[in-house]
Structure 1
């Protein structure tokens, strides 16, 4: 019995040493801090029918279960914006949302989650300002996608802007995105989760699309430099096509408890981002086989008519010539 106790004691000591060694080599960050002033959680409305820490504009509607940015109607736009700038150096956002509508084959347009300098400005980029300064995580659901590219929709992408780049709707933003992934989440019965993590200039986006509490990496990009002091927001828009764009919750976590004003003046940029490509219009569609056949037929018929007309003119000319000699 004593040998067994000694053996168990030695084993416990060994495990403690191993765990201590692992922690020394791979230090674990302290528990994340949930910050209420940057979060949007139920209940959304206070007794005075106000939303703590948030402003909203456009077609936004608050219910007990969700915040609707747009209804499933054409030409709608809505946005919500945090009132308090974020001074946390490293942070994580868990966004719960749902996109659904009546359209089976045609639907759109989508929504965007923002970390931007300017807030509450309505514009053409999913209901918010173009030529923005900051970060946009764009959830593009437009089914009839624009331009040639090698992915399907819905599509999640990231754009970092210093205020000089314009979002190219005609190319679904592919000319200015830094990364992206396909994500099939539309018209599912459960909520979709999106995790946006910014940690020491590394931007990572993860998804939980199957309601299995299992995060799947969408993309990770290092060298993303964002200033502190910008605002979080979400906006959505519909055009000729439409969907309900619902936000169920926004949960903000400060990763290390560090706030800093030193990065307030840096210019947003992605150091590993290609230079934006120029917009090039789609080539005009080529002629179909039927159109080519019809053009050839019309050409042949025209040639025959001209030949007959030429022959008749020549014959008449010869007859008139003979008459002059009589």
Structure 2
């Protein structure tokens, strides 16, 4: 009998732990971040048919199922791409991508890679491996200077294409630049990442980059009054010429965002103020700990009582 009671208590504790996890998860979802599987990709990247359900890769791109999607290798004259098969139609979203750029080149290396949110997809060309005169957003992670610039390289730059304007390749996009920042993302020992946050209603677009340490994000730029095409495909492309590098995409995590970027805090973090969230989380954890402690004490007493009865 004691064993039966003890088993029921164990089942109760399991249910309590599960409920606690669900409640805490619900609180953690206050910020309205919902993963979007159709625009996310991780290891092993491909299925048994050597394809991915949601992404196409092509050109010189190579798949290492244990490491990365290599857009271009550290050899001359390569072009590779990774493009979503479906358009990203959410009005507010966040894209976090881990990448790695490295190679044998000590002084000369290039050319870089680009992230795209454009009306057209998978059309190879001269702009970091994508077509010129594109319509939508291009963010260029440029590692090679084609001309003298006032900033150092690597450099990250944003351009909005109208479908008619060419990228100013000779001057590293100087005449196209909306915003940009210097970022030492090449050949790092820590994971290098980018995070794009977009809210269509306010036209807000922000890019942060992680290069110094885990979860240490540096703001690259914030744009306002940006309107992406209603139907935008997510893409990653790269190109090498006489200079070259390995350009790898390790993972892409896209999430839809509910709510609006209507305050400075929400615009940057897309979360409620930390004091409120931390307080609720602490309270729930405290209640859960108390409940588990009481249940363990009761289980011990019942088990002891059952053993006493057996000895009697």
Determine if the TM-score, normalized by the shorter chain, exceeds 0.5: yes
1:62 shift after superposition:
0.7
Which residue number in structure 1 is paired with residue 119 of structure 2?
117
**What RMSD in Å do the two structures reach over aligned CA positions?**
1.5
Contact 2:118 2:229 in 1 (8 A): no
SS at match of 1:152: coil
- The aligned counterpart of 1:215 is 217
CA deviation string 1:135-171 (max 9, x = no partner): 00110011xx123321011000100011111001110
Aligned residue in 2 for 1:284: none
Matching residue of 2:44: 43
Cα drift, residue 189 of structure 1 = 2.1
What's 2:58 paired with?
57
Deviations 1:123-143 (A, max 9, x none): 00011110000000110011x
Partner of residue 98 from structure 1, selected from 97, 100, 115: 100
Partner of 2:162: 162
Of structures 1 and 2, the larger Rg is shown by 1
Structure 1: runs of 5 or more not aligned: 1-27, 259-326
Structure 2 runs not aligned, ≥5 long: 1-28, 261-312
1:36 & 1:150 partners in 2: Cα distance? 40
State how far apart, in whole Å, the 1-side matches of 2:259 and 2:151 are.
Answer: 38
Distance 2:59 2:198 in 1: 29
Give 3-state SS (helix, strand or coil) of 1:157's partner.
Answer: strand
With the length of structure 2 as denominator, give the TM-score of the two structures.
0.71
Give the number of aligned pairs.
229
Which residue does the alignment assign to 1:4?
none
Q: Which residue of 1 aligns with 2:307?
A: none
> Which whole-Å deviations, capped at 9, do the CAs of 1:27-48 have from their partners, x for residues lacking one?
x963301100011112211122
Partner of 2:304: none
CA distance in 2, matches of 1:29, 1:223: 26
Cα deviation, 1:228-286, whole Å, max 9, x if unaligned, reads 2110000000000000000001110101189xxxxxxxxxxxxxxxxxxxxxxxxxxxx
Closer/same/farther in 2, CA of residues 54 and 257 from structure 1, 3 Å limit: farther
Q: Which has the higher helix share?
A: 2
- Does structure 1 retain, via aligned residues, the 8 Å contact 2:190–2:214? no
Asked if structure 2 preserves the Cα contact closer than 8 Å seen for 1:179 and 1:221, the reply is yes
